[in-house]
Amino acid sequence: MRTRWVLAGTTALLYVVGSVVDLLVERASGWYAGGLRELLTFAPVVLASFAVGWLLVLRRAGGAIGWLLLANWLVLVSFGFASTYAGYSYSPTSHGDLPGARLAAIWDTHGWPLLFAPFLLVLLLLPNGTLLSRRWRWVVVLGVLSFSATTLSGVLGGERLDRPFEDVPSFDVLPAPVHAVLGLGLPGMTITVVLAATSLVLRYRRSDAVVRRQLKWIALAGCLLPVAILSSTFLDKTPDSSGLATWLPFVLLFMALPASIGVAVLRYRLWDVDRVVAATVAYAAVTALLAAAFVAVILVGGVLLGGGSPITTAAATLAVALAFRPVRATVQGRVERSLNPRRWSGEQLVDAFLADLRAGRREPEEVADTLARAVGDDDLRVYYWLPAQDSHADADGHLVADLPASPTARTPVRRGELHLGTVVHRPSVRRDLEHLLMRAGLAVEIARLRVEVRRQLAEVERSRARIVTAALDERRRLERDLHDGAQQQLVAIGLDLRHLQAGLEDDSPVRHQLDDSVQRLGSAIRELRELARGVRPATLDAGLGPALSELAGRAPVRTVLDVTDERFARDVETAAYFVVSEALANALKHARPALIEVLADRVEGRLVVVVTDDGPGGALAAPGSGLAGMGDRVAALGGTLTVDSPPAGGTRVRAELPCA
Amino acid sequence: MRVVVAEDQVLLRDGLARLFRDAGHEVVGLAGDADEARSAVAESVPDLLVADIRMPPTHTEEGLEVARWVREQHPGVGVLMLSQHVYGGVVDLVSGRGFGYLLKDRVLDVADFLDAAQRVAAGGSALDPDLVATLVRRDDDALDRLSAREREVLGLMAEGLTNAGIAARLVLTERTVESHTRAVFMKLDLHGDGDGHRRVQAVLSYLRAQ
């Protein structure tokens, strides 16, 4: 590791010193005009390869790719120094024929194949520094041979040099047969380029999503190559293709290539590639369309109004300005659709869901399923945050203290400062998910609120059931206290009085007074007993059947019972008893029936109690009436109470109580 | 008469014991719960066990369990159950011999209570008038055909009273009572027009069949 750092530092130092010297020499020579400009444009290109190359080497990422980038840097630097050195040597102010100046001049013209060789090899190695398979070694060999051959034939083949060294004699040392053989290098280079591209395509096809995204970055940079070629061919009007239109795209290409290679190999913000690609393509397309529109308006305007009319220009500008928004929207949609069909179809899914949600065709809780389908992750789950409980909950309102360990990725859902919940999902879908959550956030919030309300409602229902059960238990306790406490005491006192009485003379006047007192005690005890039964009949301890038959036995009209012997939970039995008790009281009070039928049986997990009378009907469970109160208690236990009382049709009270 | 009193409330238990003693009976055992009641009965084999239906530990039907146990283990011992409220679950037991069931405050009518206790100790039966009333109040065509007096007599028969007892209670002659009982049996289509336990059985089984 240390040697690499030392090497990197040394080369950087040498490079800086070399560049300064290069600049000074150019200044001194005076003839190579525009040296600074060239340096400023050339330097970023050189620096890109240098920096990315060392970054990869020092990080030990991507195998030989880093070294190849450094090789590319070396080639670029050698060109820079060679041209400066040769220029200094052959300048009109003539510093004389410096040693090696001729070679430098020849290199300036004929060294170009080496500008492409490192990048071609990089293409074969992307993104992890290994070849597609061992067979591809032959492509590397072919590349090295053909590029070397072409370089050699250029340097040694005696061809004329480019400006400004056209007067410098070239080497011409190759025998004709060797020159012919080396001539095969050019087609070899072409084949190598094609094979390298093929390797990339094959690799892309065989790869998973991560590698594909890595390769897409390279492809993105590679898009500049045709741009550069087209630009230098059609836009550059300078005679020797040295104008801005030629060198600028190439400078961009040689900066973008190392940069994209670095991104791909180091996987830094890899997942932005789709967005960058889409945005690049979309803006290129929009620009082209608007430029075409502008030109069209100018041409048409020129024909109609004559050239140079300000109206034409204004109209063209207006047309472009007006067209910008709709064109951009359409193009962006099209581009995203074709470049990222999955995200596009995901958006369509979410948008359709939101429309259905607004129309009431779907429930907000289905947002989880929709997101799962939109990003293609079956394991995706949405958990809603309940601040009051300080916990997540699922869509059914069940608290989830610990989110499941798998899948591993978590994306929080926020709306402003508000934390709405957490999506648990596979890491690979994070980008798409975040994108879609921006649309679906409102649905998540609605679902969260509904979960919260449902939970609160369930809690209220539970507490109501607890209150009613507690009240029933309280009745039972009160009844016990009356029977076992007050009543027993009174009986004991009565016995005491009787004992005292037994000790008295037969004709004692106190004896009669005691008789009277004991009788009054007896009445008090009977009153207490009635009171206790009203609170809760003790026979309920023996079951609904005994309690109801006692109740029916006390009714002044014929009451027919059909009651199951089954036992139920105490609160269920008590509630059922009071339903019958209230229904009987109601019937006796209002209906004057001749016959009352009481039915109690288990039906599908519910205790169903039906009290029917043959009275005139028309009874209503008015608020505050005994039946209405009974309905509340039955509802509190999760049951229902219905009163069916058609005029002249008798009254039918039906209660259903869940009894598991 | 040798009596065991089983009652968890001390005041009431002592009062009951005193009541029996005042009347010249012998209290041979006192019990505060079902287990004590069983051992007291097993130890002294009394003529009568007077027991509260609700006793510790659960305060539900301990007294009834003791009664069933006594019937099985000591069929000669009469059992008089007491409770604070009308308890329909005892009718089964009452139709057997030597069993009675009364509300607790009946003890304040000392003479009737002692009469019932002695009846039960002797193998007869006693059923609380309130419980009988719920049985007789049943809506039933046959019962509707009874006159008011006949209904009264039916109820007293169900309570376990003999003709003499009924006559004393209603201040009638025994002959008049006999004619009423015959009428009741005829109207209800009952047989066994005696004056003992079988009559009580017949009446109770009729009333319970409704």
All residues of chain B having their beta carbon less than 8 Å from the beta carbon of residue A537 are 85
Amino acid identity at A550: E
- A546 in B contact zone (CB under 8 Å): yes
Can you read off the two tokens belonging to residue A201? 């395509």
Given the structure tokens 């339903």, which residue do they identify? A579
Question: Are the Cβ atoms of A532 and B61 closer than 8 angstroms?
Answer: no
Q: Quick check: helix, strand or coil at residue B190?
A: coil
Query: Which of the residue ranges A318-327, A331-340, A489-498, A609-618 has the most confident prediction, judged by mean pLDDT?
Result: A489-498
pLDDT confidence tier of residue A424, bands split at 50, 70 and 90:
very high
Q: Which of A302-311, A386-395, B117-126, B155-164 has the lowest mean pLDDT?
A: A302-311
Amino acid identity at A377: D
Task: Check: CB of residue A584 under 8 Å from CB of residue A596.
Answer: yes
All residues of chain B having their beta carbon less than 8 Å from the beta carbon of residue A483 are 54, 84-85
Query: Which of the residue ranges A506-510, A542-546, A550-554, B114-118 has the most confident prediction, judged by mean pLDDT?
Result: B114-118
Can you read off the two tokens belonging to residue A235? 């836009």
The pLDDT value given to residue A33:
45
Instruction: For residue B142, give how far its alpha carbon lies from the nearest alpha carbon of chain A (Å).
Output: 13
Q: Which of A112-121, A525-534, B86-95 has the lowest mean pLDDT?
A: B86-95
What percentage of chain A has pLDDT greater than the value 90? 11
Residues in chain A: 660
What backbone phi and psi angles, to 5 degrees, belong to A558? Answer: -65, 125
Question: Are the Cβ atoms of A491 and B12 closer than 8 angstroms?
Answer: yes
Q: What is the rounded distance in angstroms from the CA atom of residue B79 to the CA atom of residue A382? A: 69
Q: Parallel, antiparallel, or unpaired for β A651-658 and A640-644? A: antiparallel
Residue of A nearest to B85 (CA): A529
pLDDT confidence tier of residue A609, bands split at 50, 70 and 90:
very high
> Where exactly are the structural domains of chain B?
2-127, 132-209
Task: Check: CB of residue A162 under 8 Å from CB of residue A90.
Answer: no
What percentage of chain B has pLDDT greater than the value 70? 93
As assigned by CATH, the class of the B2-127 domain is alpha beta
Name the nearest CA neighbour of A384 among A441, A299, A432: A441
Is the model's pLDDT at A174 over the cut of 80? no
Average pLDDT, chain B: 86
Task: Check: CB of residue A440 under 8 Å from CB of residue A354.
Answer: yes
* Mutant choice from A479, A495, A516 vs B, greatest count of B C-beta within 10 A: A495
Is the model's pLDDT at A325 over the cut of 70? yes
Q: What is the rounded distance in angstroms from the CA atom of residue A166 to the CA atom of residue A155? A: 14
More confident residue, A155 or A372: A372
All residues of chain A having their beta carbon less than 8 Å from the beta carbon of residue B110 are 498
Residue of A nearest to B21 (CA): A499
Mean local confidence (pLDDT), A350-366: 90
Query: A604: phi > 0 → left, psi -120 to 50 → alpha, else beta; which?
Result: left
User: Mind listing the pLDDT tens digit for each residue in B20-56?
Assistant: 998 999 999 999 999 999 999 999 999 999 999 888 8
Name the nearest CA neighbour of A111 among A70, A67, A77, A65: A77
Q: What is the rounded distance in angstroms from the CA atom of residue B146 to the CA atom of residue A639? A: 44
Residues 595-624 of A with CB under 8 A from B: none
Instruction: For residue B194, give how far its alpha carbon lies from the nearest alpha carbon of chain A (Å).
Output: 28
pLDDT confidence tier of residue A275, bands split at 50, 70 and 90:
low
Is the model's pLDDT at A9 over the cut of 60? yes
Q: What is the rounded distance in angstroms from the CA atom of residue A109 to the CA atom of residue B90? A: 124
pLDDT confidence tier of residue A122, bands split at 50, 70 and 90:
confident
Average pLDDT, chain A: 81
The pLDDT value given to residue B17:
94
Name the nearest CA neighbour of A431 among A383, A393, A354, A377: A377
Can you read off the two tokens belonging to residue A323? 């067209």
Residue A610 pairs with which residues in a beta bridge?
A599, A654
Q: What is the rounded distance in angstroms from the CA atom of residue A226 to the CA atom of residue A468? A: 81
Helix and strand totals (H; E) in chain B: 11, 6
Cβ-Cβ contacts under 8 Å between A and B: the total is 97
CA atoms within 13 A on the CB side of B127: 32
Is the model's pLDDT at A36 over the cut of 60? no
ipTM of the complex: 0.86
* Mutant choice from B13, B54, B64, B84 vs A, greatest count of A C-beta within 10 A: B84
What percentage of chain B has pLDDT greater than the value 90? 34
All residues of chain B having their beta carbon less than 8 Å from the beta carbon of residue A488 are 9, 11-12, 84, 104
Name the nearest CA neighbour of A64 among A144, A151, A148: A144
All residues of chain B having their beta carbon less than 8 Å from the beta carbon of residue A490 are 105
- The DSSP secondary-structure symbol of A611 reads E
Q: Quick check: helix, strand or coil at residue A603?
A: strand
Query: Which of the residue ranges A317-331, B143-157, B191-205 has the most confident prediction, judged by mean pLDDT?
Result: B143-157
Amino acid identity at B142: A
Question: Are the Cβ atoms of A491 and B15 closer than 8 angstroms?
Answer: yes
- Could you give the angle at which helices A65-90 and A35-59 cross, rounded to 10 degrees? 160
Can you read off the two tokens belonging to residue A362? 């779907």
Mean local confidence (pLDDT), A276-292: 74
All residues of chain B having their beta carbon less than 8 Å from the beta carbon of residue A495 are 12, 15-16, 18-19, 107-108
DSSP secondary structure string, B30-67? EESSHHHHHHHHHHH--SEEEEESS-TTTSSSHHHHHH
User: How far from chain centre, in Å, is Cα A31?
Assistant: 61
pLDDT confidence tier of residue B102, bands split at 50, 70 and 90:
very high
Fold of the CATH domain B132-209: Arc Repressor Mutant, subunit A (1.10.10)
Can you read off the two tokens belonging to residue A398? 């069940």
Cis peptide before B129 (omega within 30 of 0): no
Task: Check: CB of residue A640 under 8 Å from CB of residue A575.
Answer: no
Mean local confidence (pLDDT), B103-115: 91
